[in-house]
Structure 1
């Protein structure tokens, strides 16, 4: 099948608001493809192609070749081309990847370019990616969706699960199971605005500190230990202290879920970028271990000494965790249905510098996939009113629209940083309607532009939610927003009413 058919199905799913309708559109396309081509399509639609680590980021996709007039690329042919890209390493790799990428995109129609660029940079906005595609695979193969989701949890690869479902049906899916040494997809948490709202959904509940670290899944099989990230990357060689902690446990085999984070001497977490940089670095791990030691805390036990525990209620898994691990390796937890006790526990977590709490159902099994009701995260949402000083052109589905916003706070004469001080960028939280509106409004305020960026008069005030502040030498105030996303434009405020750098620094001093 031509890639063009898949691109049209992806766009139709993106434009369809109803989840069931999205699933039906993608399932129909997968049936047309058949069991030989459909797994390759699933790899693209689910975002798995991006996880091939082919070294392609937004910068490589800013200047695309002109699209082809008519479709010629096949689905399998496209997957093979991406595999060749992923295999490029060594001297001159970046230039060779760019050449191969542009050769591929030069054969793609505009619709196919949208699909490919969106898949490669994570902006394929067809709704829930893995979850919708998994349900489409189930519908196309006529198997229970629960079987597909469970197989995805164990196998990790949407492509492999699609191939099993379409060729072997439910029996092939049920053959997937937990294997010590192969990472499973992690269970995720839904969100609630506060602990009272979370307790309305789960009560009594287990509350745990929500740590601001790197999610780690640790597998031990005898003397062998492997450490994986949330995205299933193997970082064993980079985190020797995590390996050592797992190797010290009185267990023959285990699969543990937890967080690794860097702590200051007073026991408070260091800024997230310190932990992130440490776990991302491939430099001398022993030296980094001495300079920025990591501490690991676990909150779940999925396998112990030959026994899988995933299907047990959370309370029983946590009992097993408590029996296997000392308290110093476990995330602090309390069980309560009392809102006052829950708020006190949350205040304690925040007071120690952590993000918030995760509220968990003691009866829930461990299940990856959709963010269900079994785990609910609660963390304060911080907001600032900032001014847009520039915006970058989008790629993929956002091509032709101003997407990535440059956000600035008001400066002051005392700080010497000028009238507007940049704190970061974001393209998150923007609906299609808002993208179109802000493109019109920003172009009406244009004062200058480069190939990728339009600079504008600082007139539009936007309310930004963010998870915290981090030190950053890239920005003039030495601070940057973490996980910034747009809430709304403040048409009731002018730029003189935007938040100041001084106010942002006060938040940083308070440990935000």
Structure 2
């Protein structure tokens, strides 16, 4: 398939607000792709690289060769070139990478160059959110959306699922191919996500027992144990095994041959209280001398789910059964929890956890399966304040004592269906001097262009915002504004496509 065909579809999807039209355009293109390239086409149309990263940032794409007069690049050629870029390492790799980029972009037309820059930098916003793409795969392969969603949950990414379904032939064969997609130890699956509620009493109503767990303010981690080999993955499915030797040792010591576990790791102070999130984030992000770091900033593991153990898949089993198996396997690593139907008991547990320095609680239904990659009523988080995870769209230069620093950030929420980012407000509150210094460096790295005193950035950085309420407003495109919004922290662990939605913001209208 020609790259130009993918770009044509990308433009068509971005140019319509109709979900039906988006799905139809995507499905048509997926059907046209060969079995060998449909996985790559799927990733491209979702705005993702199959390679995830290729070692090239925004600055490396500033000096491009003159564009080609005519389109000739194929999807396969682009994929091969990007794989080579990712593989370059060591002495001479900068020159090799530059030569590869020049060869690739020298064959691209001006339109293709612009599109490839967006794809490589993660700035490509096509309006093809996860739900739209999964429905398009289902339509193209003539299978149910539920079958596609489950397969993607277990495979982690949509590309391999589209490849399996569309290579199978007719709908019946495609459904059978998807049914064969199962949990594989060593391959990360999408983590289950939690909805949110403002108060414990909204989800613990006195009628049905639920589990109330400590919400640890750490880094989400999925651990895979396979005959002594341990692999650790973040919530974005990035492997970080080499960074956390103490966690690897704990998992390897468990009395099982093969297992997949879900939990959090966090840095605790000497008194057992959580360190500031930045301490945990810096420790888990660092690749420098893990042996020394584990001594200076040791990590504590808290497990809260078990998805597989010694040949037994547990994702479809009720939570109570998964937790019973987890208690048998790792009793010393469990996150604190209580089971109750009494709202007052739940509130007391919530208060104890907040007093101990934790974020709040997660209320979990005892009969819920592990619904990977989705938010729902199975898990509901409760924090002691209203918070949203939003995306920084732009930032303004400060004045007065903040002169020389980037200060006032523009906040965007994600549209649940299109994936587009909708502005919902600005804030300069809650920022320490250290945060101002950090964000000035960070957003200048993400800068795309300027308009007066406003620096526009690639929409990659997620920020956790506390607010007192939501009100209707015509000032911002989202039709709402946040009351007394202030910055709590920047989320280095969370990608922009997992930020809160504009629908979630509107649900809190006062």
State if a TM-score over 0.5 links the two structures: yes
| Cα contact 1:52–1:86 (8 A) shared by 2 | no
| Cα contact 1:464–1:484 (8 A) shared by 2 | no
- Per the alignment, residue 462 of structure 1 pairs with 426
Gaps (5+ residues) in structure 2? 169-173, 444-460, 477-482, 490-510
Secondary structure at the counterpart of residue 354 of structure 1 = coil
The structure-2 alpha-carbon separation of the partners of 1:359 and 1:116, relative to structure 1 and needing over 3 Å to count, comes to farther
TM-score, scaled to structure 1: 0.75
Determine the C-alpha separation between the residues in 2 that align with 1:45 and 1:294. 38
- Per the alignment, residue 444 of structure 1 pairs with none
- Per the alignment, residue 158 of structure 2 pairs with 158
Determine the C-alpha separation between the residues in 2 that align with 1:66 and 1:404. 30
* Aligned mate of 1:371, from 375, 386, 408: 375
Residues 68-92 of structure 1: per-residue CA shift (max 9 Å, x gap): 5543322222212211211221124
- Per the alignment, residue 142 of structure 2 pairs with 142
Determine the C-alpha separation between the residues in 2 that align with 1:479 and 1:405. 11
- Per the alignment, residue 247 of structure 2 pairs with 242
| Cα contact 1:271–1:470 (8 A) shared by 2 | no
Pairs within 5 Å for 1:26-37: 26-37=26-37
The structure-2 alpha-carbon separation of the partners of 1:257 and 1:418, relative to structure 1 and needing over 3 Å to count, comes to closer
Residues 117-148 of structure 1: per-residue CA shift (max 9 Å, x gap): 33323333334644432322221111222222
Determine the C-alpha separation between the residues in 2 that align with 1:340 and 1:18. 46
TM-score, scaled to structure 2: 0.75
- Per the alignment, residue 45 of structure 2 pairs with 45
Deviation of 1:425 (Å): 5.3
Deviation of 1:213 (Å): 1.5
- Per the alignment, residue 455 of structure 1 pairs with none
Determine the C-alpha separation between the residues in 2 that align with 1:426 and 1:352. 33
Pairs within 5 Å for 1:389-468: 403-406=393-396, 408=398, 417-418=401-402, 422-423=406-407, 428-429=412-413, 462-463=426-427
| Cα contact 2:22–2:132 (8 A) shared by 1 | yes
- Per the alignment, residue 211 of structure 2 pairs with 206
Residues 455-492 of structure 1: per-residue CA shift (max 9 Å, x gap): xxxxxx824799x9795583599999971579999969
Determine the C-alpha separation between the residues in 2 that align with 1:304 and 1:462. 47
Residues 250-278 of structure 1: per-residue CA shift (max 9 Å, x gap): 33332110011111112222222322222
Q: Which moved more, 1:137-146 or 1:371-380?
A: 371-380
| Cα contact 2:409–2:428 (8 A) shared by 1 | no
Deviation of 1:291 (Å): 0.9
| Cα contact 1:45–1:129 (8 A) shared by 2 | no
| Cα contact 1:428–1:484 (8 A) shared by 2 | no
Secondary structure at the counterpart of residue 182 of structure 1 = coil
- Per the alignment, residue 345 of structure 1 pairs with 349
Residues 422-451 of structure 1: per-residue CA shift (max 9 Å, x gap): 45856643899x99999xxxxxxxxxxxxx
Gaps (5+ residues) in structure 1? 384-401, 412-416, 439-460, 493-498
Determine the C-alpha separation between the residues in 2 that align with 1:377 and 1:67. 50
| Cα contact 2:218–2:280 (8 A) shared by 1 | yes
- The reply to whether residue 360 of structure 1 matches residue 324 of structure 2 is no
| Cα contact 1:46–1:129 (8 A) shared by 2 | yes
Aligned residues between the structures: 451
Pairs within 5 Å for 1:54-453: 54-61=54-61, 68=68, 70-127=70-127, 129-168=129-168, 169-198=174-203, 204-326=209-331, 328-379=332-383, 380-381=385-386, 403-406=393-396, 408=398, 417-418=401-402, 422-423=406-407, 428-429=412-413
- Per the alignment, residue 505 of structure 2 pairs with none
| Cα contact 2:412–2:423 (8 A) shared by 1 | no
- The reply to whether residue 483 of structure 1 matches residue 446 of structure 2 is no
Residues 295-336 of structure 1: per-residue CA shift (max 9 Å, x gap): 01001011123211111011211122222222x411122334
Determine the C-alpha separation between the residues in 1 that align with 2:122 and 2:343. 38
Supply the RMSD in Å over aligned alpha carbons: 4.2
